[in-house]
């Protein structure tokens, strides 16, 4: 066992149930709206597995987007009301764009959307009309196809030139209230993910089709979380990287039920920004 592995095995952990993709013969598909009559909302069925999720705080500075596919960062914000769409776009967007550009030494950062989430026990995950529920399946937001398509979708005439350089889709995820104890986010170490673990899955909208990766179980997967995140902390999550030089390109993640969460913990509230990150050289 390597020194790194010994350090990881010595970390505190919780045993948690994570929802992987059950084996399926055809390409999974999920409707982001009420499906046509006779169609299921999703053909992607969960296959729960109980796995250790390690507390990454003791080695937090060891994680990187290029290796594990995620990183914990300090990122205070001046936003006071994350339910105010105008404040998010006028205050949070420019600050987050500048932060990501500086942190990743990027030439350009384009924020293309955001999602506010609040866990409501027993409620459906509705895409319109209010905060979304935490995503409780192991997934990656983009695929090798949809990551590049995001550039074409949002940057039109510039896309071909931009796609000749390195492009990443990076999410900036943070709690809105803290310390966060309810439904934290678990991240899988990208170095433990095999290409065959990632299953391209259709996400069908009323006006377009997207594509995400569902993830099948692999006992080699190694999971981490950062308990009790504060509102001045955030996670950078890699959802796509056009680089094919050996660095992690896709970072599976999921919300999960932490068995140590106090019964009176406030329900999780969070926001994630989705960004295109460009390196021209």
d(CA 99, CA 106) in angstroms, rounded, equals 10
Q: What is the pLDDT of residue 127?
A: 62
Q: Which candidate, 149, 208, 150, 199, places its Cα nearest to that of 31? A: 208
Element (DSSP H or E) covering residue 115 = strand 108-118
Q: What is the pLDDT of residue 33?
A: 86
pLDDT tens per residue, the chain (281 residues)? Answer: 444 566 788 899 999 999 999 999 999 999 988 899 999 999 999 999 999 999 999 999 999 999 999 999 999 999 999 999 999 999 999 999 999 999 999 999 999 999 999 998 877 666 666 688 999 999 999 999 999 999 999 999 999 999 999 999 999 999 999 999 999 999 999 999 999 999 999 999 888 889 999 999 999 999 999 999 999 999 999 999 999 999 999 999 999 999 999 999 999 999 999 999 999 97
Q: What is the pLDDT of residue 129?
A: 60
Q: What is the pLDDT of residue 6?
A: 63
Q: What is the pLDDT of residue 281?
A: 75
SS3 at position 276: strand
DSSP 268: P
């Amino acid at each position: 066992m390597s020194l790194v592995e010994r350090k990881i095995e010595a970390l505190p952990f919780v045993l948690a149930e994570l929802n992987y993709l059950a084996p399926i013969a055809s390409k999974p598909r999920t409707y982001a709206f009420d499906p046509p009559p006779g169609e299921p909302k999703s053909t992607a069925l969960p296959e729960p597995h109980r796995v250790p999720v390690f507390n990454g705080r003791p080695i937090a500075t060891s994680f990187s987007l290029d290796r594990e596919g995620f990183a914990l960062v300090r990122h205070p914000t001046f936003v006071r009301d994350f339910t105010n769409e105008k404040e998010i776009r006028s205050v949070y967007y420019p600050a987050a764009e500048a932060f990501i550009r500086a942190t990743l030494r990027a030439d350009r950062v384009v924020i293309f959307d955001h999602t506010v989430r609040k866990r409501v026990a027993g409620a459906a995950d509705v895409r319109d009309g209010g905060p979304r529920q935490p995503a409780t399946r192991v997934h990656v937001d983009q695929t090798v196809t949809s990551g590049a398509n995001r550039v074409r979708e949002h940057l039109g005439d510039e896309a071909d030139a931009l796609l000749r350089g390195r492009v990443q889709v990076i999410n900036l995820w943070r709690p809105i209230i803290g310390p966060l104890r309810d439904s934290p986010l678990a991240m899988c170490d990208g170095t433990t993910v095999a290409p065959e673990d990632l299953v391209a899955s259709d996400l069908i909208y009323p006006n377009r089709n997207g594509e995400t990766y569902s993830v099948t179980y692999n006992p080699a997967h190694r999971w981490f979380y950062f308990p009790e995140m504060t509102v001045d902390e955030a996670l950078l999550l890699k959802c796509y990287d056009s680089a094919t030089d050996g660095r992690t390109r896709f970072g599976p993640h999921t919300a999960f039920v932490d068995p140590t969460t106090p019964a009176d913990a406030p329900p999780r509230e969070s926001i994630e920004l989705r960004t295109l990150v460009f390196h021209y050289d």
